[in-house]
């Protein structure tokens, strides 16, 4: 079991303050992959609404729909289908009597290609029925639905005071240091 990582989070009421905080974090050497900007659906519509018309401010992207795990499950299905296709092909090659004309076409038909495509299709269908699990670090976005949450993971406890100071000095409020258990992909 790995040691819990520490994350500094702060609430922002202005998208420009978030941009200033990101600039300050990057200027002190914080890697971009340790910084996350999290918004609720309401905050995304408030701060990042599509504009661009006269007097509407800059044009920004519309908030995206909540994610599904289609591609993740398609990849898992493709891998399982590939493995199953390989096993079926090997069994057919080793089966006595396949030397007859046309016997190897069965190996090609039921081989890894068909298994991979079939597994990917089945995995994608499974993924369409599943919603993406929320990251526990993003729970503050639900608590403060009208604010932008900026979350910065720290390599070590010695970075925490600097991160807290940067977030507070650039307009963040309700700055917190939280511990979370990394998921298997984050622990790597």
Kindly report, residue by residue over 48-103, the tens digit of the pLDDT: 665 544 445 555 555 555 556 788 888 999 999 999 888 888 877 777 766 666 66
User: What pLDDT is attached to residue 80?
Assistant: 92
- Of 188 and 23, which is predicted with more confidence? 23
Are 13 and 46 found together in one domain? yes
Are 53 and 75 found together in one domain? no
Are 123 and 74 found together in one domain? yes
- Lowest mean pLDDT of 10-19, 110-119, 127-136, name the range: 127-136
User: What pLDDT is attached to residue 188?
Assistant: 45
- Rounded alpha-carbon distances, angstroms, from residue 169 to 8, 45, 57, 162, 183: 14, 26, 26, 10, 31
- Lowest mean pLDDT of 3-12, 27-36, 165-174, name the range: 3-12
Q: What pTM value is reported for the model?
A: 0.54
Burial class of residue 29, CB neighbours in 10 A (0-12, 13-18, 19+): exposed
Residues 122-137: what's their mean pLDDT? 76
| Number of structural domains in the chain | 2
Residue 14 has pLDDT above 50, yes or no: yes
Are 56 and 138 found together in one domain? yes
Kindly report, residue by residue over 137-159, the tens digit of the pLDDT: 666 666 777 778 888 888 778 88
| Domain of residue 32, CATH code | 3.30.70.260
Are 55 and 147 found together in one domain? yes
Whole-number mean pLDDT of the chain? 75
User: What pLDDT is attached to residue 179?
Assistant: 77
Range of the domain at 95: 70-128
Are 123 and 142 found together in one domain? no
Are 13 and 60 found together in one domain? yes
Are 140 and 98 found together in one domain? no
Are 157 and 121 found together in one domain? no
Are 89 and 168 found together in one domain? no
CA pair distance 10, 153, nearest whole angstrom: 12
Are 80 and 54 found together in one domain? no
Contact status, residue 66 vs residue 131, Cβ threshold 8 Å: yes
């Amino acid at each position: 079991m790995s040691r819990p990582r520490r994350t500094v989070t702060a609430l922002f009421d202005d998208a420009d303050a978030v941009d200033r905080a990101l600039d300050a974090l990057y200027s002190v050497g914080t890697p971009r992959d340790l910084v996350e900007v999290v918004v609720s659906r309401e905050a995304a519509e408030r701060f990042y609404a599509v504009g661009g018309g006269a007097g509407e401010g800059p044009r920004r992207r519309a908030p995206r729909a909540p994610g599904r795990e289609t591609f993740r499950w398609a990849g898992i299905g493709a891998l399982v289908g590939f493995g199953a296709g390989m096993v079926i092909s090997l069994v057919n090659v080793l089966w006595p009597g396949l030397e007859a004309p046309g016997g190897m076409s069965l190996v090609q038909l039921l081989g890894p290609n068909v298994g991979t495509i079939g597994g990917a299709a089945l995995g994608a269908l499974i993924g369409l029925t599943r919603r993406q699990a929320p990251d526990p670090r993003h729970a503050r976005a639900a608590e403060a639905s009208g604010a932008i949450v900026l979350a910065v993971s720290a390599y070590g406890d010695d970075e925490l005071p600097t991160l807290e100071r940067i977030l507070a000095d650039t307009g963040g409020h309700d700055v917190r240091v939280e511990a979370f258990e990394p998921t298997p992909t984050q622990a790597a």
